[in-house]
Structure 1
Amino acid sequence: MDELVAGVRAFNRFYTRVIGVLGAEMLDTSYSLTEARVLFELDRRGSMEAGELRRMLGLDAGYLSRMLARFETGGLVTRERSAADARRQIVLLSEAGHAVFRTLDAASAAAVRELLAPLGQEDRRRLISAMTTIQGVLGGPPRPEPYVIRPPRPGDLGWVVHRHGTLYAEEQGWDETFEAMTARIAADYAEDHDPKRETGWIAEVDGEPVGSVFCVRRDDRTAQLRLLLVEPGTRGMGIGGRLVEECLAFARRSGYERIMLMTIAALAGARRIYERAGFRLDEEHTAPAYGTEVTFQTWSRDL
């Protein structure tokens, strides 16, 4: 046991140095890593109850109160009493707060890219796998298996097309015309996407792809979420919600003002994910498609 304790402490000392390197980018701003984490959670959710924020991040109540007062003075947040319980305080991130977070997020991402740049592709995969293992062992529940969200690699687009065709045939009874449409979307993305404004993500469990989503340009102001899919055996792990969160965060960083998506009314699970992410139904219509009658829906939200 003593050797294990020594090994964990040695890793802690090493990783503390790594965190110091990653946090160095914050030194050019007036925000600490803890403050950046608070802004991250508020940017992700838009608003949070102050007590929930304190418990989630393990912060001292007085420290968080002083931090939020500073943010409020700087115009980054507003605070108001909960309509349900006046004893509770709701914290809302302002447009200025979203802008500050985007700056901090870009600095953090740049630091991580610099850290990973010297590594080969296999070492990067080993690193992420090891990090996921640590999270899974020490983090415990809520999800039964760890998963990784990563950019698409060669071969992934073919998997996306195949699984869309297979799953929608099995679950919705759609014919091959849906797979053909998915193939055209994937081909257009592969041949002519702007990496600064369009990207995708693949979810993995134990090294196998289990989910996908893509963020593409609809017009200069509007992004479109496309090709969201989660394998049946991994539904309930939070993968769909996480993929949508990645898409929203990228769309904000890329300067879009709004994001939309098209889905079908029969996909109740996907609809719940979209509703939790703040999307609202704009319109729907029924038309013949994919060998059957389909109720198409358009959803959107501001960013």
Structure 2
Amino acid sequence: MTEATVDGQVAEVRAFNRFYTRVIGVLGARMHDTAYSLTEARVLYELGTRAEMETGELRRLLDLDAGHLSRMLARFEAGGLLARERSAADGRRHVLRLTPAGRAELDTLNAASASAVGALLDPLGAAERRRLATAMAAIRQVLGDAPRPASGTPYVIRPPRPGDLGWIVHRHGVLYAEEYGWDHTFEGLVARIAADFAEGHDPRREALWIAEVDGRPAGSVCCARGDDDRTAKLRLLLVEPSARGMGIGGRLVDECVEFARRAGYRRMVLLTVADLAAARRIYRRAGFRLEESEPGVPWGGTTVTNETWSRDL
């Protein structure tokens, strides 16, 4: 990555920070026309999420200066918002909890915050709201705040909707470029497969599925007709990095295999490359076996070994 690219990215993040702090009003001395600063409001919020919390735990959670936090807590205690007592487990530590008055103040702050966010969202349409929520979730996840979905997280496997084929082409192009260095010629191959499906697939013998997590596409797979009426092809398997580890890849492959069996195919084949280790593990678990391998046409100078896998249905 060039120095100019890094400088541009730094400038963009700083510009976003300036914009967003202005939008949510944190540049003022008080939050949402209340008596509390942003830091004070956050301390009340964190205390309100638990029945009680140790002082040291609160300081570490918010990375606050010990002296600054101590003065703040003293003001809350003097104002009747906070009760502080020594820990029964360790007399050297103090345990904090909000009083009924403190919880009432927190309710006021939460209502004011919700109202402000509601006013921010009101002018936006449904699609813009989803786009905004998706972008915010992505920022949290990339910067390490939001945990990645774990195995057992709910997801949906559904038929394609308008726009899904474009998403499949786009995400194949982006992910394989980022993870394997493949160029636009691979994206072109995926586009041709998607176009063939859109223009002439037989719904009795061919199908495509989208995996969806939190309302957003997270994976895909396609069952297409093979070289003869007895053979089906598994194509376009993709799982977003944020959704890996949830079992989505295996579920998509199982869906594809089961459809092919119901459609009357006797055999299923797929083409992959040797570098795709995670995909190969999914195929093996689904009963596919490596049939043949040979040097492939490189995408963007990347040497690949093409593999053909198959299984009986």
Give the TM-score taking structure 2 as reference length. 0.51
- Are residue 301 (structure 1) and residue 300 (structure 2) matched? no
Alignment of 1:26-175 (within 5 A): 143-175=151-183
Give 1:198's aligned residue. Answer: 206
Query: Is contact 2:150–2:245 with CA below 8 Å preserved after alignment?
Result: no
Supply the distance in 2 between the matched residues of 1:288 and 1:250 (Cα, whole angstroms): 31
Give 2:251's aligned residue. Answer: 242
Match for 1:165: what amino acid? G
Supply the distance in 1 between the matched residues of 2:173 and 2:242 (Cα, whole angstroms): 17
Supply the distance in 2 between the matched residues of 1:287 and 1:149 (Cα, whole angstroms): 32
Residue deviations 1:14-44, cap 9 Å, x none?
xxxxxxxxxxxxxxxxxxxxxxxxxxxxxxx
Give 1:256's aligned residue. Answer: 265
Supply the distance in 2 between the matched residues of 1:288 and 1:148 (Cα, whole angstroms): 35
Give 1:279's aligned residue. Answer: 288
Match for 2:236: what amino acid? L
Supply the distance in 1 between the matched residues of 2:299 and 2:150 (Cα, whole angstroms): 37
What SS class does the counterpart of residue 161 from structure 2 fall into? coil
What SS class does the counterpart of residue 212 from structure 2 fall into? strand
Alignment of 1:172-191 (within 5 A): 172-191=180-199
Supply the distance in 1 between the matched residues of 2:196 and 2:163 (Cα, whole angstroms): 15
Supply the distance in 1 between the matched residues of 2:296 and 2:249 (Cα, whole angstroms): 27
Supply the distance in 1 between the matched residues of 2:297 and 2:309 (Cα, whole angstroms): 20
Unaligned runs of 5+ in 1: 1-140
Supply the distance in 1 between the matched residues of 2:219 and 2:260 (Cα, whole angstroms): 19
What SS class does the counterpart of residue 146 from structure 1 fall into? coil
Give 2:47's aligned residue. Answer: none
Supply the distance in 1 between the matched residues of 2:150 and 2:187 (Cα, whole angstroms): 34
What SS class does the counterpart of residue 289 from structure 1 fall into? coil
Supply the distance in 2 between the matched residues of 1:142 and 1:167 (Cα, whole angstroms): 21
Supply the distance in 2 between the matched residues of 1:173 and 1:251 (Cα, whole angstroms): 32
What SS class does the counterpart of residue 194 from structure 1 fall into? coil
Give 1:208's aligned residue. Answer: 216
Residue 230 of structure 2, aligned match among 191, 212, 221: 221
Supply the distance in 2 between the matched residues of 1:162 and 1:254 (Cα, whole angstroms): 29
Match for 1:301: what amino acid? R
Supply the distance in 2 between the matched residues of 1:156 and 1:287 (Cα, whole angstroms): 28
Report deviation, 1:233: 1.0
- Decide which structure has greater helix share: 1
Residue deviations 1:113-149, cap 9 Å, x none?
xxxxxxxxxxxxxxxxxxxxxxxxxxxx972521000
Supply the distance in 2 between the matched residues of 1:211 and 1:263 (Cα, whole angstroms): 17
Pair member with larger Rg: 2
What SS class does the counterpart of residue 304 from structure 2 fall into? strand
Give 2:239's aligned residue. Answer: 230
What SS class does the counterpart of residue 293 from structure 1 fall into? coil
Query: Is contact 2:272–2:306 with CA below 8 Å preserved after alignment?
Result: yes
Give the TM-score taking structure 1 as reference length. 0.53
Match for 2:263: what amino acid? S
Residue 279 of structure 2, aligned match among 261, 270, 274: 270
